[in-house]
Chain A
Amino acid sequence: MARMATSRHVAVSTFAAWLVGFLIFFPILWMVLASFKTELDAFAIPPKFLFFHWTTENYATVQERSDYLHHALNSIIVAGGSTLIALLIAIPAAWSMAFSPTKRTKDVLLWMLSTKMMPPVGVLVPIYLIYRDFGLLDTLTGLVFILCLGNLPIVIWMLFTYFKEIPKDILEAARMDGATISRELVYVLTPMAVPGLASTLLLNFILAWNEAFWTLNLSTLQAAPLTVFIASYSSPEGLFWAKLSAASTLAIAPILVIGWFSQRQLVRGLTFGAVK
């Protein structure tokens, strides 16, 4: 009897999990389906789910009109570069705050987070002027720099919470054995925080990949990443949903693949320290 109740419970939970998963995934599925529709079918009321005239015309149009690879490569460089630099700065910062806190550490952390509360458009003109004067407009260096700065507070916060879970005694033991600070960071702390580092890296990469405000405003052609590529397919006059969906599907494809292969690390990292 108890076994039956347990198996029923498992079945219900599994069904509920699949349902929630499907609901979360549905917008992406809808976008992928719309990318294979004609513009008229993409706008059809009532909407057509599977029974429509399937076409790859939108992908052909997108390929013909835009240089997808150029934008994708820029996205990889900008998201990857900003993430790596942010990690290089954030690891020592989070380490010092987690293991040698002062009475101002909490204030510093909150201050860093507060910079994320300001709408970016508030500093658009000063940043634009600085970029213009330093010749950073439409450069990959400029985009890497601004995205790194923008995501640094989140990276430091995430790493700080992961590092806090690591027992201080282990680091002290390493010090007792004569480890220098750099050896302690590289050979003791970092390997222990790999799941946390992996999820921080991935989350920051996704945030940088999707960032649309600065990438749209500070790039023109040379450094334009996939956000600019997508923005070119929306139109105030004319039907564009199918083409926009095709462009969006192409834009998220790399990040979906990376996410798929690293989901185990991501889940491990996000639940790191949750169970003692």
Chain B
Amino acid sequence: MKNVHGALLGAAALLLSTPSLAQTTLTIATVNNGDMIRMQGLTSDFTSKNPDITVKWVTLEENVLRQRVTTDIATKGGQFDVLTIGTYEVPIWAKKNWLVPLDKLGADYDVADILPRIKDAVSVSGKLYAAPFYGESSMTMYRTDLFQKAGLTMPENPTWDFVISAAKKLTDKEAGVYGICLRGKAGWGENMAFLTAMANSYGARWFDEKWVPQFDKPEWKKTLATYVDLMKEAGPPGASSNGFNENLALFDAGKCAMWIDATVAASFVTNPKDSRVADKVGFALAPNTGLGKNANWLWAWNLAIPAGSKKVEAAEKFVAWATGKDYAKLVASKEGWANVPPGTRSSLYQNPDYLKVAPFAKLTLASIDAADPNKPTVQPVPYVGVQYAAIPEFQGIGTSVGQQFSAALSGSTSVDAALSAAQASTEREMKRAGYIK
């Protein structure tokens, strides 16, 4: 009995003498995308490796999140320790010193493994300011059965001429099948992401080297007129209100012969649970006009640490865990290789297990490689970004121009009128912001 008492006293003394671990709580703001939700589900792996850290998630819709974290970071509110931000925000916020440079992610983080284009997009002056969680470009997805039936063969690197003629040939409005589905919903991240990338392939640019808007140039007219004509002839009805999700639903339901959109859609349209055409989808690069630029964009969702955070060390540990090489293995072990976040690391595209389940992997990588955020256009430009110009004013300008172009698509204004209005509003904003006199 004495021994038992002694042992209990000893254990109690040991417990009391053990220094209690100071618990750090990380608040992470993120978007409601499949890969992010999966990451939330796997948090226990991180907390079991770091028992002194607790993770709390704030998941919000993209636009709400953007407004929420911008307000917080601009006022140094300190509500978040890790932020999910896009490639658009990274250079702007890094230059304002709102982000912590990520140079302490550990020896085994392997920065060199990050795809060069994506690394460029999240670096300023060679310093990494955000760690890419998943990356995407855009590509052409098409229905192999409809192409076969029409006697058409999709080239791996199609031209706009081919895509336009194929779309017209494949349109069967009576059967409810449309040759091509493209974004039409107004917004800098909606129709303007697609149209800016398309304009790049037609040799157009947002601004010249002196920040003068270029919507009055023939390249933009060619782009917009081609887009509007194509959608009128071969697009679905009400296309001016279609964004990514609406087109995804149309494609999944077998209503689109072609769809040019984010590479991340490839895993959705080939998932038999949601898609009726899962086994009839082929992939090709986004179209070009032979000028050296394809109509594809470059985007990544990244994890960044706000300069106002008081828990930088714990936040760095989390960022290294979520964007490191081992995370892909963790996802693969729990949910299969098809669910690993794509588009950030070279090693993933050399992994035979991943290549086996992702028939679109090669095209995704080629599309990402083909988009250069530092040289996005045929002619030189003063801005960084493929489907956007990384300046704070772009969100407002892009949405305003997007509304004009969406109106041209719906037929409530003409192509010429939309371009003149876009030129006038962009000039006004650029003058107001002091870029031009």
Task: Using CB atoms and an 8 Å cutoff, list the residues of chain A in contact with chain B.
Answer: 39-40, 43-45, 65, 124-125, 128-129, 132, 137-138, 216-217, 220-221, 224, 228, 231-240
Contact = CB atoms under 8 A, between A and B. Distances in A.
B310 to A, nearest CB: 14
Nearest to A234: B61
Given A39-B274, A217-B67, A235-B32, A44 B253 contact: yes
Nearest to A233: B32
Interface in B255-311: 255, 262, 264-265, 268, 274-276
A235 B58 contact: no
Ranked nearest first, the 8 interchain pairs of A and B with the lowest CB-CB distance are A43-B249, A234-B61, A232-B59, A235-B32, A236-B62, A220-B79, A132-B77, A231-B64
A147 to B, nearest CB: 18
B56 to A, nearest CB: 5
A236 B31 contact: yes
B71 A240 contact: no
B58 A45 contact: no
A205 B102 CA distance: 46
Nearest to B255: A45
Contacts of B189: 236
Classify the secondary structure of A's interface with B.
Answer: loop
Given A45-B249, A240-B245, A232 B32 contact: yes
A239 B248 contact: yes
A45 B62 CA distance: 26
A240 B32 contact: yes
A234 B245 CA distance: 11
Given A217-B67, A232-B60, A132 B75 contact: yes
B64 A221 contact: no
Nearest to B268: A238
A228 B31 contact: no
Interface string B1-42: 000000000000000000000000001000111100100100
A1 B324 CA distance: 85
B306 to A, nearest CB: 13
A217 B71 contact: yes
Nearest to B74: A125
Contact of B68 (A217, A233, A240): A217
A216 B274 contact: no
User: Which of A129, A232, A234, A237: most chain B Cβ within 10 A?
Assistant: A237
A236 B79 contact: no
B56 A221 contact: yes
Contacts of A129: 75
Given A124-B71, A238-B268, A220 B27 contact: yes
Contacts of A233: 32
Nearest to A221: B56
Contacts of A132: 75-78
A43 B58 CA distance: 27
A151 to B, nearest CB: 22
A138 B246 CA distance: 34
A44 B64 CA distance: 27
